[in-house]
Amino acid sequence: MARGLRPGLLSLCLGVGALAGAGCGPGDAPAGRGEAWPAADVLFQVDTRFLGADGAYSVDLGGDRVLWLFGDTVVARDEKRNYRTAAFLRNTVAIQTGRDPSRAFMRFYWRHDDDGAPQSWLPETAPEAGGAGYWYWPGQGIRIGPTLVLFYGRLRQDGAPGPNSFADEGWTAHVIDNPDAEPSAWRPRLALLPADTSGSTSLGEAVVRDPAPGSDAVYVYGTHGARHAVFVARFSAAAMQAGDLSHPAYYCDGQWAEGCTPTDIIDLGYPELSVHHDARLGLYLMVASTGYGSTGLGWRSAPRPEGPWSRIRDVYRPPESFRDGSFNYAGKAHPELTGPGGGLVITYVPSAFESQPPELDATLYHPHFVRVFTE
């Protein structure tokens, strides 16, 4: 149920242990030590109808509110938590109240049809004549002033139903004009987009506002192609607040320019990632799951949004990765979250290639929290 994952793309750059990052870029990322945070995992268990999801991007809404954006979500049709009859939704959202996930409150949101059946929060599009409809996979987003902008990948069915039976159809972005209201009252409207947002390019994997005083820059990271090569675009905060994404400047051959072909700042990247500026380290950190299957979590660092990016460095190996047939993915950081003792808050999603015993239902396919401490 993971978007864009393709086997056979591993290299030393995406390895684990001593091989991680060999020959992948300049310098080394800071050393980090990850610790599981099971007290925070309960956050994803508080709704009896929310049976699991992946994606798990987060957006700081200000105050003590944090928005979560989930991809493929399993929702029980009643309070009996029956997985066999549960609905499968392409995207859902939640609002966390409180910055410490081990003490916070979470409320989940999805839509309902006229008969009360659960539906995706951002509805699928109807099939076009002779073609297929689209569904939407979340990226990240950002709130600037009274405006919330959310990025989504656009996907369509490709082949028989299954975890990899889809094709990327580009990206889109929606604007929320009343982010202080409950998501049930939000009415997403399409942002003003560039002329062409189709193909295998996905923009919005991570969104970062430049922390430099007086800067108006917002950096948005994307990926393209089967290698998930990473590139970066730049918008002004004023344009982003106006919902106008029609004129991105891309980092191309050492400069920022409109209309150019973006430079791959990482040649072999990740289908999901996060990027944020760490004020304590004075560096940008890119966090992701570091491979395919029984994999860990790692990060890269850079002095500037465009790089140069360091080699990737492992910071945590999930215990689920030691189970036969394990499949861990969706690693990303949530710097707006806090916890006792500090550390950078990261989540990942453990799953499996084959069916697993029912006693693992509450463990697999739920985001799990990790705190990473620099050494």
DSSP of 201-212, one letter per residue?
A: -EEEEEEEE--S
Distance set, CA 277 to CA 119, 142, 212, 218, 283 (Å): 35, 14, 10, 12, 6
- 115-124 contacts: CB < 8 A, separation 24 or more? 117/77, 117/87, 118/75, 118/77, 118/87, 118/89, 119/87, 119/89, 120/89, 120/90, 120/91, 120/92, 121/89, 121/91, 121/92, 121/93, 121/183, 122/90, 122/91, 122/152, 122/174, 122/188, 124/90
pLDDT on residue 167 = 81
Q: 3-state DSSP call for residue 302?
A: strand
- The total of structural domains in the chain comes to 1
Does some domain include residue 188?
yes
Which amino acid, 151? F
More confident residue, 233 or 360: 233
pLDDT tens for 74-130 read 999 988 888 889 999 999 999 999 999 999 999 999 999 999 999 999 999 877 655
At a CB cut-off of 8 Å and minimum separation 6, what does 26 contact?
Answer: 308, 309, 310, 311
More confident residue, 328 or 246: 246
Provide, rounded to the nearest whole percent, the portion of the chain with pLDDT above 70: 88
- Give phi and psi for 154, each to the nearest 5: -110, 125
Measured distance CA(171)–CA(76) in Å, rounded: 29
pLDDT on residue 6 = 37
Q: 3-state DSSP call for residue 145?
A: coil
Measured distance CA(331)–CA(347) in Å, rounded: 6
Contact 205, 273 (CB under 8 A): yes
Pairing of the two strands 217-224 and 202-209: antiparallel
Does some domain include residue 242?
yes
- Give phi and psi for 11, each to the nearest 5: -150, 180
pLDDT on residue 293 = 82
Domain that holds residue 255: 12-374
pLDDT on residue 81 = 82
Does some domain include residue 6?
no
pLDDT tens for 115-142 read 999 999 999 987 765 566 789 999 999 9
Which amino acid, 198? S
The pLDDT confidence band at residue 196, using thresholds 50, 70 and 90, is confident
At a CB cut-off of 8 Å and minimum separation 6, what does 213 contact?
Answer: none
Tokens of 198: 């189709």
Does some domain include residue 3?
no
The pLDDT confidence band at residue 157, using thresholds 50, 70 and 90, is confident
Does some domain include residue 1?
no
Average pLDDT for residues 329-353, to the nearest whole number? 94
Does some domain include residue 62?
yes
Does some domain include residue 230?
yes
Average pLDDT for residues 199-221, to the nearest whole number? 95
The CATH number linked to 132 is 2.115.10
**Which residues face 183 on adjacent strands?**
none
Which segments of the chain does DSSP mark as H helices, in order? 38-41, 237-241
- pTM of full prediction above 0.85: yes
Contact 14, 46 (CB under 8 A): no
Contact 142, 240 (CB under 8 A): yes
Instruction: Give the CA radius of gyration of the chain.
Output: 19
Considering Cα of 4, then 261, then 256, then 152, what sign does the dihedral take?
Answer: negative
